[in-house]
Amino acid sequence: MDKVSFTRMQDGTREEYEFLTRHETEHTKGMADRLLAALVDLDQSLSGYQITRLGHSVQSASRAWRDGADTDWVVSTLLHDIGDIYAPYNHDEYAATILRPFVREQCAWVVEKHGEFQMLYYGHHVDGDQHKRETHRGHPYFDDCAQFCERWDQASFDPGYDDLPLDFFAPMVREVFARTPYDPAVVRSGVREPLIRPEQAERRQT
């Protein structure tokens, strides 16, 4: 079978849907490389900053890695703005939707909400709600998102910073997106892991 015969989904057979499932499963194996290519496309995104959106992404991830962050944090940080081109009004939700099946719940939530938390730094300059993040005060991951924005996101627009190259992060991206989607052992609902791990950070500086 090269392709299904139906033109309406309700007319498909079990054999045809099993055929499609095999093709879709095979297609997902290229997800990491498609995301890495999409990161490069971020250079076509927002202009006006001192660095490109790709530069911001790798700089944020470089800071996370140098802080000793684990793989879930580093990859989530690298991809946190992946939606800028395709979903400029909800880029944070877009990125979180991509990440959610493959990373810890904590990381996906932080990515989903980081746009609201970032308003702290500029909301008052654009007639927005500078304290929009307060609607999430008391959430178990509130402090994590605040720290994510403070250390890795809002600080990563520096053309003088020594960024790690995108290729450095590629193995980590491939590792994450090779996981079984929604594996409870990966999602770890309610679990908090530190963003900063001093001992790991020290080892990475040497």
> What is the reported pLDDT for 58?
98
- Alpha carbon distance 57, 157 (integer Å): 9
Give the pLDDT confidence score for residue 28 in this predicted structure: 87
Angle made by CA atoms 128, 76, 142, in degrees to the nearest 5: 50
Q: Which domains does the chain have, with CATH numbers?
A: 13-205 (1.10.3210.10)
**pTM to 2 decimal places:** 0.94
> What digits encode the pLDDT tens for the residues 94-106?
999 999 999 999 9
Residue in 22, 58, 33, 76 with CA at minimum distance from that of residue 187: 76
What pLDDT does residue 206 have?
A: 66
**Mean pLDDT along residues 71-94:** 96
CA distance 197 to 66: 9
- pLDDT score at 138: 98
Count of other CB atoms within 10 angstroms of residue 134: 13
What are the tens digits of pLDDT across the range 139-194? 999 999 999 999 999 999 999 999 999 999 999 999 999 999 999 999 999 999 99
